[in-house]
A and B are shown apart, each in its own frame.
Chain A
Amino acid sequence: MSDVLKKIEQAIYDGDGEASVKLAVDAAKAGMDPNEIINQGGVPGLERLGVDFDNMEVFLPELVVGGEAMTLMIEALVPYFALGEETFKGTVVIGCAKGDLHDIGKNLVATQLAVNGFKVHDAGTDVAVNKFVDLAKEFDADIIAVSSLLTTSAYYQDELVKRLEIEGLRDKYKIIVGGGPITPDWTRKIKADGYSRTAHLAVDMCKELLKKAGALSEPLIYE
Chain B
Amino acid sequence: MSHSINEILKYMDRAKKGKRVTQKEWDYEILPKTLKEISKEFKLEKTCDINNPVNVDGDLADRFFAAGKEAALRLGLFNDDTETVVKVTEAELMASVNGAPSRLPIGKGLEQVYIESRKPCDPNPPKFGGPLSIQMNEEYYVPLMSTTLKSKLVDIHEGPSLDTIYGYPLLANTPLETAAGFYEARLRKESQYIAGRQGMGNMLIASSSTEYGNLAAFGQFEGPQIALVLIPSSLKTNYCSLHKCIQTLALGGYIESGSPNMMGGYTLGPETSAIASIADDLLQYSIHQAHMSGAPVYDLRYSGNCGRMAMWSQSISTQAVARNTHIIMLKTINQVAGPCTDMFYLETIAGFTAAAASGLSYTIGPRAAGGKYKNHLTPLEVWFASGAFKGAAGLSLEKANEIVKELIPQYEDRHANPPIGRSLPELYDITTMQPTEEHLSLYLKMREYANKLGLNMPSDGIHC
Among B27, B170, B371, the residue within 8 A (CB) of A152 is B170
Report which residue of A54, A61, A152, A180 has the largest number of chain B beta carbons within 10 angstroms of its beta carbon: A152
Contact B233 A56 (CB under 8 A): no
Question: How far apart are B38's CB and chain A's nearest CB, in angstroms?
Answer: 16
Q: How far is the CA of A54 from the CA of B268 in the complex (A)?
A: 12
Known: A98-B173, A104-B266. A151 touches B32 (CB 8 A): no
Q: Is B424 an interface residue (CB 8 A)?
A: no
Q: How far is the CA of A87 from the CA of B301 in the complex (A)?
A: 31
Q: Is B435 an interface residue (CB 8 A)?
A: no
Q: Is A23 an interface residue (CB 8 A)?
A: no
Stretch at the interface among A6-14, A70-78, A153-161, A169-177: A153-161
| A127-175 CB contacts (< 8 Å) to partner B | 150-156, 158-159
Q: How far is the CA of A183 from the CA of B207 in the complex (A)?
A: 19
Q: How far is the CA of A102 from the CA of B172 in the complex (A)?
A: 13
Stretch at the interface among B5-13, B94-102, B257-265: B257-265
Q: How far is the CA of A122 from the CA of B145 in the complex (A)?
A: 41
| A18-44 CB contacts (< 8 Å) to partner B | none
Q: How many residues of B contact A (CB 8 A)?
A: 39
Q: Is A101 an interface residue (CB 8 A)?
A: yes
Contact A180 B171 (CB under 8 A): no
Among B169, B172, B207, B371, the residue within 8 A (CB) of A158 is B169
| B270-300 CB contacts (< 8 Å) to partner A | 270, 300
Q: Is B315 an interface residue (CB 8 A)?
A: no
Q: Is B256 an interface residue (CB 8 A)?
A: no
Residue of A nearest to B33 (CB): A61
Q: Is A99 an interface residue (CB 8 A)?
A: yes
B3-38 CB contact bits vs A (8 Å, 1 = yes)?
000000000000000000000000111001000000
User: B28 — which chain A residues lie within 8 A by C-beta?
Assistant: 61, 64-65
Contact B172 A104 (CB under 8 A): no
User: A103 — which chain B residues lie within 8 A by C-beta?
Assistant: 232-233
Among B210, B265, B300, the residue within 8 A (CB) of A99 is B210
User: A81 — which chain B residues lie within 8 A by C-beta?
Assistant: none
Contact A151 B265 (CB under 8 A): no
Contact B209 A180 (CB under 8 A): no
A89-108 CB contact bits vs B (8 Å, 1 = yes)?
00000000111111110000
Contact B309 A101 (CB under 8 A): no
User: B29 — which chain A residues lie within 8 A by C-beta?
Assistant: 61
Contact B372 A104 (CB under 8 A): no
Q: How many residues of A contact B (CB 8 A)?
A: 29
User: B232 — which chain A residues lie within 8 A by C-beta?
Assistant: 101-103
Q: How far is the CA of A65 from the CA of B24 in the complex (A)?
A: 11
Known: A98-B172, A103-B232, A104-B233. A152 touches B268 (CB 8 A): no
Among A101, A104, A152, A154, the residue within 8 A (CB) of B300 is A104
User: B341 — which chain A residues lie within 8 A by C-beta?
Assistant: none
Contact B238 A183 (CB under 8 A): no
Q: How far is the CA of A99 from the CA of B371 in the complex (A)?
A: 19
Contact B264 A61 (CB under 8 A): no
Contact B372 A181 (CB under 8 A): yes
Contact A152 B172 (CB under 8 A): yes
Q: How far is the CA of A123 from the CA of B14 in the complex (A)?
A: 29
Report which residue of B177, B263, B264, B371 has the largest number of chain A beta carbons within 10 angstroms of its beta carbon: B264
Contact B238 A56 (CB under 8 A): no
The DSSP consensus for interface residues of chain B is: loop
Q: How far is the CA of A100 from the CA of B208 in the complex (A)?
A: 12
Among B210, B265, B270, the residue within 8 A (CB) of A60 is B265
Contact A56 B269 (CB under 8 A): yes
Contact B171 A155 (CB under 8 A): yes
Contact A56 B264 (CB under 8 A): yes
Contact B135 A151 (CB under 8 A): yes
Known: A59-B264, A61-B268. A153 touches B172 (CB 8 A): yes
User: B300 — which chain A residues lie within 8 A by C-beta?
Assistant: 60, 104
Q: Is B449 an interface residue (CB 8 A)?
A: no
Q: Is B190 an interface residue (CB 8 A)?
A: no
Q: Is A88 an interface residue (CB 8 A)?
A: no
Among A98, A151, A155, A159, the residue within 8 A (CB) of B161 is A151
Contact A150 B172 (CB under 8 A): yes
Q: Is A53 an interface residue (CB 8 A)?
A: yes
Contact B163 A61 (CB under 8 A): no
User: B264 — which chain A residues lie within 8 A by C-beta?
Assistant: 53, 56, 59-60
Residue of A nearest to B370 (CB): A180
Contact B270 A155 (CB under 8 A): no
Report which residue of A54, A59, A102, A154 has the largest number of chain B beta carbons within 10 angstroms of its beta carbon: A59
Among B208, B238, B263, B270, the residue within 8 A (CB) of A101 is B238
Question: How far apart are B366's CB and chain A's nearest CB, in angstroms?
Answer: 16
Report which residue of A99, A102, A158 has the largest number of chain B beta carbons within 10 angstroms of its beta carbon: A99
Q: How far is the CA of A196 from the CA of B131 in the complex (A)?
A: 28
Residue of A nearest to B270 (CB): A56
User: A101 — which chain B residues lie within 8 A by C-beta?
Assistant: 80, 232, 238
Contact A151 B370 (CB under 8 A): no
Contact B268 A59 (CB under 8 A): yes
User: A183 — which chain B residues lie within 8 A by C-beta?
Assistant: 372-373
Residue of A nearest to B210 (CB): A99
Residue of A nearest to B267 (CB): A59
User: B233 — which chain A residues lie within 8 A by C-beta?
Assistant: 102-104
Contact A99 B172 (CB under 8 A): yes
User: B262 — which chain A residues lie within 8 A by C-beta?
Assistant: 60, 104
Residue of B nearest to A149 (CB): B232
- 17 A–B contacts, CB within 8 A, in A order: A56-B264, A56-B301, A60-B265, A61-B27, A61-B268, A97-B172, A98-B171, A101-B80, A103-B232, A150-B172, A151-B170, A152-B208, A155-B169, A156-B172, A181-B135, A183-B372, A223-B417
Interface residues of A (CB under 8 A from B): 53-54, 56, 59-61, 64-65, 97-104, 150-156, 158-159, 180-181, 183, 223
| 9 more A-B residue pairs beyond the given contacts A56-B301, A61-B32, A151-B135, with a C-beta to C-beta distance below 8 A | A59-B269, A101-B232, A103-B232, A104-B233, A104-B300, A152-B177, A152-B208, A180-B371, A183-B372
Interface residues of B (CB under 8 A from A): 27-29, 32, 80, 135, 161, 163, 169-173, 177, 207-210, 232-233, 238, 262-266, 268-270, 300-301, 303, 309, 370-374, 417
Pairs of residues from A and B, 7 with the lowest C-beta to C-beta distance, nearest first: A99-B172, A152-B172, A101-B232, A151-B163, A155-B169, A99-B173, A153-B172
